[in-house]
Structure 1
């Protein structure tokens, strides 16, 4: 590990994205036609932060299997702090079947590897988290979470416990909703929004977030609007809000400023998996350096906020140029080089 004091902790799932052949089905495709890539949103963000130069830690649970060993090797190689990592001897690391369309867009369509007890990420233990948290929290500024842990009873309890610890220690919460219906019900329509039970589970997280990242459809499902200013106004803490929309402009309400920018065109589109996670990492990478003392609001100019969003968008664009959510993640130098050659768009 390159830094024993992570500034961002990322809690949740680490898994394998089994990418089917473009236009094909990963469930029926021959093994040699599929591409297995380590991923999972919190693991993606932790790796992306480390590559950008921000000390990050991962809190999650992996199967004591070959995939888990590969993950450990990758995370150690990236310099991600693993003191919050748990191991499961009974449950495997989850494999997610990902259908890739010919344009690079993807659909999550089920899982592989379950031996009858579920997957390791579903069994994250609060007790082990309680032991790991004190040394991890020494320098932490942000805790990044998503909603997938809420889909399983044990991991939901661990997530709620982590949020309580963060509140006690005055650690800011970044919430990337990252709605994935198949994690809640394996036979769910991948395009379906959250039902009443899922909405009830997600609702208590929203007022705890200092930064809320949503895809456009997630904002509409949860708030009946995709306007980040309106979303922020709906919550008592008035969080910073970013709404992404695939290839359409990203919109934000950050530090009292609102705006929108066209997304940056990637060098090429191979696979969009992990682009949103790279965007989140790019944003947190800068917020860590700009976040004021506990209890103080962000005081940033409109120009600085726009630069932050543009940097984050570049991180997302560059990930689209390679397969998987982790391998193509850029360094800060690569982002700077890309931005130097990209046209500077006017805000919308």
Structure 2
């Protein structure tokens, strides 16, 4: 039986669903035995969709997976969680993507590259706009938010599909939530995983920044994209003056939401196993609690992020609403 709601999606998440191949703590894929690595279903939009469903928000995923074991595992997961998959496409030629994730001894992670490519690219890169046209009306019915990241813009086909969905969402009155999620290796597999965006990438991403109602970004992303990390100044620099949330790992989160400025220390789990997906759980918690007072939204979101760090992978440790409320209880 599905965990989540069967109602029409309130949130639509667009983008990649992939496998995070976690290396051993403090080790490296190049020297680790295969059995020492841990494959976990992930990808930021898929993580957010699964987290929202587990929290109790009706959600759908717009994406593309290979017709392979990974694709089958994802579809089974989405069925269990109750994620709407009307707009989830299957690619008969290209595989689902595997991302190599190196984990430091403290649980922090670094993206090291990809596995599984058969010289045709990956399924998520080929999100098909024409396929979306046939399902959009049903998928978008009663939706309130469209959540996207920047990774689909790195490939021509998926970028065209994303821009088409953005236009439809705007016409339908959906609010755009942008989790910047800058990952240079998706744009250039040879790029330094710690590198900031190129001028070309900045130009491609700028229209998303200028359309979003809510922008969530890490501090280093704020510095790369705006030259500073002040959420008030970031909002003021954009024509639509969006709500802005800046996270900074274990440091306090800062925000400018509904003309309110604030900051809050994040919560720390008793043990950090893996930080993969913590930011996605935060985003899901924020959207799930969006109708609550601003401070309550941020506390709830921060608790979601902390709870995910206590387990391996981005999806399995995701909390239910009652888990978050118990964590926050005095």
* TM-score between the two structures when normalised by the length of structure 1: 0.93
Verify the 8 A CA contact 1:173 1:211 in the aligned structure 2: yes
Paired with 1:50 and 1:213, the residues of 2 have a C-alpha distance of 20
Selected match of 1:267 from 266, 270, 286: 270
Selected match of 2:219 from 206, 209, 216: 216
After superposition, the C-alpha distances for 1:73-131 in whole angstroms (9 at most, x for unaligned) are: 00110000000100001000000000000000000010000001000000000111111
CA RMSD of aligned residues (A): 0.9
After superposition, residues 33-48 of structure 1 pair within 5 angstroms as: 33-48=36-51
Aligned to 1:286: 289
Aligned to 2:315: 326
Paired with 1:113 and 1:28, the residues of 2 have a C-alpha distance of 18
| 1:26 shift after superposition | 2.0
Residues 1:68 and 2:71 are matched in the alignment: yes
After superposition, residues 140-155 of structure 1 pair within 5 angstroms as: 140-155=143-158
The answer to which of 19-28 and 227-236 deviates more is 19-28
Residues 1:335 and 2:324 are matched in the alignment: yes
Aligned to 1:99: 102
Structure 1 outlier segments of 4+, above 2 Å: none
Paired with 2:32 and 2:165, the residues of 1 have a C-alpha distance of 39
Residues 1:226 and 2:229 are matched in the alignment: yes
Paired with 1:55 and 1:275, the residues of 2 have a C-alpha distance of 20
Paired with 2:226 and 2:245, the residues of 1 have a C-alpha distance of 13
After superposition, residues 230-241 of structure 1 pair within 5 angstroms as: 230-241=233-244
Residues 1:80 and 2:120 are matched in the alignment: no
Residues 1:246 and 2:235 are matched in the alignment: no
After superposition, residues 42-57 of structure 1 pair within 5 angstroms as: 42-57=45-60
Selected match of 2:210 from 207, 210, 213: 207
Aligned to 1:193: 196
Paired with 2:7 and 2:93, the residues of 1 have a C-alpha distance of 30
| 1:339 shift after superposition | 0.5
Structure 1 gaps, min length 5: 291-299, 342-348
Paired with 1:235 and 1:47, the residues of 2 have a C-alpha distance of 30
What SS does the aligned partner of 1:22 have? coil
| 1:245 shift after superposition | 0.3
Verify the 8 A CA contact 1:267 1:318 in the aligned structure 2: no
What SS does the aligned partner of 2:49 have? helix
* TM-score between the two structures when normalised by the length of structure 2: 0.98
Paired with 2:253 and 2:7, the residues of 1 have a C-alpha distance of 34
Residues 1:23 and 2:26 are matched in the alignment: yes
| 1:28 shift after superposition | 3.5
Selected match of 1:315 from 273, 295, 304: 304
Verify the 8 A CA contact 1:268 1:321 in the aligned structure 2: yes
Distance 1:104 1:213, change over 3 A: same
Paired with 2:274 and 2:327, the residues of 1 have a C-alpha distance of 18
Paired with 1:26 and 1:149, the residues of 2 have a C-alpha distance of 26
Paired with 2:280 and 2:269, the residues of 1 have a C-alpha distance of 15
Aligned to 1:344: none
Paired with 2:86 and 2:15, the residues of 1 have a C-alpha distance of 14
Aligned to 2:35: 32
Selected match of 2:126 from 100, 123, 132: 123
| 1:147 shift after superposition | 0.1
Paired with 2:317 and 2:36, the residues of 1 have a C-alpha distance of 20
